[in-house]
Amino acid sequence: MNALPASSRFTETPAVRRKLRQEALAKWIFCAMAAAMVVPLLLIVGYLVVRAAPSLNLEFLLEVPKRGMTEGGIWPALIGTLYLVFISLAVSAPIGILAAVYLNEYARDNWFNRVINLAVINLAGVPSIVHALFGLGAFVYAARFGYSIISASLTLAIMTLPVIIASTREALASVPRSFREACWNVGATRWQTIKAIVLPNSISGILTGVILQVSRAAGETAPVMFTGVVFFKSVERGDLLPYYLNEQCMALSMHLYTISTQVPGVQPSIPFATAVVLLALVVIVNATAISLRVYLRSRKKW
């Protein structure tokens, strides 16, 4: 195979060598830039976990805050966050999914639907503090829900709605149009087509989008701090149903804000542990969404 002499044309000239060096340099520079966001994140998370270590145990999750929130655990905040997340998603997921079905399957391309699209985009861009103002004006005062779990959840629901609409639309659009046409050809109505073909084959994407909103709803502070979440609420240790829906509650995100800025003399590991719990929630939620995506991609039907 080596019968041919190495052609002089393909040996490295200084120019080629310079080119290769530049190539490698470019790769490393961009790699470093990517690393510049990943590495600090990992370092910070590591630091938080180390600082939180003394408080990280099951007792911390189940215990209520004690001595003016300077000691104890986070149970009331944890359970309050669960309340807020589930109620808000129970409201926003059905509305968001149906709205996406409308936009993707029913809406014709006219000015009215372009306005709806515009509204969805702008809804997604509204700052969370403006959502808080809206929740305060609309749910707390105008609808007379008062400062309550229901007001806070509805505010969160409207905030998560546009993202659910966007992710659902993407999932629906991934079902090929030829399937729909095949159904229409045999006399299926739009809804029969959606029910039999479109929804079953996009449900994984839809669910992933909704699940990702769990961490968003759990982490938001501004929209709930003026609509129904309080600094402190007395709750029994480990009580699963401590709140009524017309009451105020505690929430993890708000709790972290409170003990790290408003309460003096907190045992130092507690705020770190609270932050780590919030981060852990995010990791769990994202991991669930990713594994769901991978699992359902593996059994794709076409």
Site for another protein in 42-81 (CB under 8 A): 44, 47-48, 51
Q: Which is nearer to another protein, 188 or 263 (CB)?
A: 188
77 Cβ contact partners less than 8 Å away, ≥ 6 residues apart: 250, 251, 252, 254, 255, 274
> Are the CB atoms for 88 and 160 separated by under 8 Å?
yes
Q: Pick one of 86, 130, 174, 295: the residue that binds another protein (CB under 8 A).
A: 130
> Are the CB atoms for 192 and 177 separated by under 8 Å?
no
Site residue total, another protein (CB under 8 A): 108
Report 164-193 residues binding another protein (CB under 8 A).
165, 178-192
Q: Which is nearer to another protein, 47 or 86 (CB)?
A: 47
Q: Which is nearer to another protein, 90 or 118 (CB)?
A: 118
CB of 279 to another protein, least distance (A): 6
Q: Supply the DSSP symbol for 229.
A: B
Q: Which is nearer to another protein, 5 or 44 (CB)?
A: 44
> Are the CB atoms for 254 and 77 separated by under 8 Å?
yes
Q: Cα-Cα-Cα-Cα dihedral of 128, 131, 135, 137, to 10°?
A: 130
Q: Which is nearer to another protein, 3 or 26 (CB)?
A: 26
Three-point CA angle 101, 96, 156, nearest 5°: 175
Residue 229: beta bridge partners? Answer: 249
Q: Which is nearer to another protein, 61 or 279 (CB)?
A: 279
Counting Cβ atoms within 10 Å, is residue 217 exposed (0-12), middle (13-18) or buried (19+)?
buried
Contact flags string 212-251 toward another protein, x per CB under 8 A = x--xx-xxxxx--xx-------------------------
Q: Is 290 in the site for another protein (CB under 8 A)?
A: yes
CB of 67 to another protein, least distance (A): 21
Nearest partner of 230 among 94, 125, 117, 76, judged by Cα: 76
CB of 149 to another protein, least distance (A): 18
Which amino acid is located at 289 in the chain? A
Q: Pick one of 153, 257, 266, 270: the residue that binds another protein (CB under 8 A).
A: 257
Q: Is 111 in the site for another protein (CB under 8 A)?
A: no
Q: Which is nearer to another protein, 3 or 37 (CB)?
A: 37
**Rounded Cα–Cα distance for residues 159 and 123 (Å):** 8
Report 15-34 residues binding another protein (CB under 8 A).
19, 22-23, 25-27, 29-34
